[in-house]
Structure 1
Amino acid sequence: MKKLKKWQLFAAAGAAIAVIGTGSVMVFSHPTTPDQAITKETPMVQTVKDGSIASSVLLTGKVTANQEQYVYFDGTKGDLQSILVNVGDQVTAGQPIVQYSSTEAQTAYDAAVRAVNKADRQLNDLLTNGVTIDTTGDEEADAKSASQTQRTVDSQASDLRDAKSDAVDNMNKAKALLDATTVRSNTDGTVVEVNKDVSKSTTGTNQTLVHIVSNGNLQVKGELSEYNLANISEGQEVVLTSKVYPDKTWTGKISYVANYPTDAGQAGANAAGGTQGSGGAKYPFTVDITSEIGELKQGFSVNIEVKSSTQHPLVPVTSVMADGDTSYVWTVENGKAKKVKVTLGNADAENQEILSGLKKDAQVIVNPNEKLEDGKEIGKYDKID
């Protein structure tokens, strides 16, 4: 992160303190220059708290339905008989929306049903009526004959059960093919597209017959560059903005980040939204919108500001000083000023993230000036929230 120069810090300090003065603490009257701002004699001290700042990662994406269904023409299902819905219709999951007609599928199913019925009749007849054997009056010979016949009956019954099981399996497969000729909605939603004039030849494949979008929450989908992938993870909170409504914001949470990039040749065609940078691999991601949808509509392009998922000590930007390439803050310990070297992280207009050198609950001087000396008592100071 680029460190602030001294004159920038002083200017920011003057602006911030002027605002605070309008509330409860008036430190000086009319600072007009950086030099005037650093001559304040009463330090203001604030307790360091942990927090997070939006990262510098900015993404773009496109608002899409949480769930949608495209039904494409499929000649393998048979002849297209009818489309059962119209644009604007509200449909429920499981509702038939496209019907094909297939004589072959119907014939195969009917034949499979007959095979099941035949196997069932044969098995039932054998178990009910059994078989008849002639007896000779010789008990030993008749018992032996009955035993052999019983084994034969048991074997026939086993074969018939196997035949019936095979017939049932074939019937179920035929039923599945027949059921596939009726295409059903897989979501509750609204029909937004219907195309009844599709080519019935093989060239008609991939032509949309029906497009349904769910009535649930919207999502945002886009692609990350490989450079941003390391800084983005599932569960991170985001803030969404749209050029259509520049004064409004929405909140969301990253719900999916792909581990594998999209095919380079298809990246442009498949991208729901772009990212910073044009080179390198692209990784799809999804954001669930957690706030009220309001005026946000499907198809809107939005900017996505990713919030950091880590917590670090935060200090006012006015408290950070620079000495060449070194950044430091002034703290108060036992009534004495202490100069503390720090490593800076992200920053916004008000707060600076401290990655190292400072701990939570430290007392940092918000309005440091050049009169401060390391280890010297600072006397009276004002403590602010």
Structure 2
Amino acid sequence: MENKKRILIGVSVIAIIFLLVGVNVYIAFAGKPTVKTTTLQQRDLSKTITTNGTVELKNVYKVYKDPQLGNISQVLVNENQEVKKGDPLLKYSNQQLILEIQQNNIDIKSTYIKIDDLNKKEKRLREKLKELKEKNASDQVKENLQEQLDSIDTEKETANLNLSYALKKKDILQKQENNLIVKSKITGTVIDVNDPNSQNYTQENLEPEPIIIIGDLNKLIVKGYISEYDSLQVQKGQKVTLTSDVSPNKSWYGKIQQIGYLPVNYNSNNPVNNNNDTGTAKYPVFVEIVGNTEDLKPGFQLMMEIKTETKKVFSLPISSVIQSEGKYYVYVVKDGKLHKREVKV
């Protein structure tokens, strides 16, 4: 019985000791904040320039009416038709050129006939001169024949010069005739075909409307405008991210293809003046779109984000930075203790 009492007393004492230790530990650490640490992470920091841009076709070929070639007799293509470089697009009719070609052919043919006739005459005279020499004819007779031969040589020389001129003229007329058929200079799709007999002009600059417009629908660019300062930061080959308000969940990518050397002066009547900054010089910038362009069409408005500079930096979560009196601080753990240090952000 006494042994059981001793065991119970011992257990109670041990329990009291553990309870007191637990209470002291709780008192020692209760109320102290939990501290989480992090490490510096290296990442890319990019400097960007943003501006608006318009999607355009990279390769466009426009055919205008040329009155010097004559009247357009036939348009050989239709809208949405696929064409290759060198395919005929339209044909001119030029009656004056046709008459010149016909006359040139007559001149060439008649000159050949004349040269052939002179060669025959020369052959007969030389045979006759040979015969007279064999018969010991008088010198006067032989001199007369020689004069006729000399005259024929002169006529032949003149005829050959005329023939050379006529053949050169034929080449020129042939090129002019070939120009009556206008051929495509690019491979693409016929976007627009207008009446060749119309004299419509665009409202912007009073230029005549093209009769045929061909564009390569697989190659698109974006044209935008940047300020004088930004033109010094933007360089060929820099990466560009393109977004659209119409498709907010989509983005496209490209690279700077060209920066205009000459500025475009903005004014209130200029359609690219979005900020009414009259007189401000803007420089055109062209971005070549890389990758899939199926969802884009000429005329679409895009936001251009140009990455002008990318560098490696160290970063921390914003929650690790404390701001006080206009300065920024972080706490650094060293030797198990926290040290407050000022940083630049």
- 1:213 pairs, out of 212, 215, 225, with 215
- Is the 1:237–1:251 contact (alpha carbons within 8 Å) kept by the matching residues of 2? yes
Q: Residues of 2 paired with 1:114 and 1:263: CA distance?
A: 58
How many Å apart are 1:57 and its aligned residue?
1.3
Q: Residues of 1 paired with 2:89 and 2:208: CA distance?
A: 17
- 1:90 pairs, out of 60, 82, 104, with 82
The answer to whether structure 1 residue 283 and structure 2 residue 283 are counterparts is yes
What letter matches 1:174 in structure 2?
L
1:247 aligns with: 249
For the pair shown, the structure with the greater C-alpha radius of gyration is 2
Q: Residues of 1 paired with 2:261 and 2:118: CA distance?
A: 60
Q: Residues of 2 paired with 1:263 and 1:126: CA distance?
A: 72
Where 1:208 maps in the other structure, the secondary structure is coil
Cα-to-partner distance string for 1:208-259 (whole Å, 9 max, x where unaligned): 3222222432122233332321111211111111111111111111112222
TM-score by length of 1: 0.59
Could you say if the C-alpha distance between residues 171 and 331 of structure 1 is closer, same or farther in structure 2, counting changes exceeding 3 Å? farther
Where 2:303 maps in the other structure, the secondary structure is strand
2:40 aligns with: 45
How many Å apart are 1:80 and its aligned residue?
2.8
Q: Residues of 2 paired with 1:182 and 1:236: CA distance?
A: 42
Q: Residues of 2 paired with 1:283 and 1:121: CA distance?
A: 66
Where 1:297 maps in the other structure, the secondary structure is coil
Where 2:40 maps in the other structure, the secondary structure is strand
Q: Residues of 1 paired with 2:266 and 2:277: CA distance?
A: 14
- Is the 2:244–2:303 contact (alpha carbons within 8 Å) kept by the matching residues of 1? yes
Structure 1, 201-210 or 216-225: larger mean CA deviation? 201-210
2:297 aligns with: 297
Could you say if the C-alpha distance between residues 316 and 109 of structure 1 is closer, same or farther in structure 2, counting changes exceeding 3 Å? farther
- Is the 2:238–2:256 contact (alpha carbons within 8 Å) kept by the matching residues of 1? yes
Cα-to-partner distance string for 1:313-346 (whole Å, 9 max, x where unaligned): 32226599999999999999xx99xxxxxxxxxx
What letter matches 1:206 in structure 2?
P
- 1:80 pairs, out of 72, 83, 107, with 72
How many Å apart are 1:115 and its aligned residue?
3.4
1:365 aligns with: none
- Is the 1:238–1:252 contact (alpha carbons within 8 Å) kept by the matching residues of 2? yes
Q: Residues of 2 paired with 1:326 and 1:230: CA distance?
A: 32
1:256 aligns with: 258
The answer to whether structure 1 residue 180 and structure 2 residue 160 are counterparts is no
Could you say if the C-alpha distance between residues 44 and 263 of structure 1 is closer, same or farther in structure 2, counting changes exceeding 3 Å? closer
Q: How does 1:1-385 map to 2 (within 5 A)?
A: 40=35, 42=37, 44-46=39-41, 48=42, 51=44, 53=46, 55-119=47-111, 131=123, 132-133=125-126, 134-135=129-130, 137=133, 153=153, 162-196=161-195, 198-199=197-198, 206-262=208-264, 268=270, 279-308=279-308, 310-316=309-315, 318=317, 371-372=340-341
How many Å apart are 1:289 and its aligned residue?
0.8
Q: Residues of 1 paired with 2:249 and 2:69: CA distance?
A: 51
1:359 aligns with: none
- Is the 2:84–2:188 contact (alpha carbons within 8 Å) kept by the matching residues of 1? yes
- Is the 1:52–1:307 contact (alpha carbons within 8 Å) kept by the matching residues of 2? no
TM-score by length of 2: 0.65
Could you say if the C-alpha distance between residues 116 and 67 of structure 1 is closer, same or farther in structure 2, counting changes exceeding 3 Å? farther
Q: Residues of 1 paired with 2:201 and 2:109: CA distance?
A: 37
Say which structure is richer in helix. 2
Could you say if the C-alpha distance between residues 295 and 102 of structure 1 is closer, same or farther in structure 2, counting changes exceeding 3 Å? same
Unpaired stretches in structure 2, ≥5 consecutive residues? 1-32
Q: Residues of 2 paired with 1:216 and 1:59: CA distance?
A: 24
How many Å apart are 1:199 and its aligned residue?
3.2
Percent sequence identity over matched residues?
25
How many Å apart are 1:305 and its aligned residue?
0.7
Q: Residues of 2 paired with 1:280 and 1:41: CA distance?
A: 53
What letter matches 1:89 in structure 2?
Q
- Is the 1:254–1:287 contact (alpha carbons within 8 Å) kept by the matching residues of 2? yes
Q: Residues of 1 paired with 2:117 and 2:314: CA distance?
A: 90
Q: Residues of 1 paired with 2:324 and 2:122: CA distance?
A: 105
Q: Residues of 2 paired with 1:224 and 1:81: CA distance?
A: 46
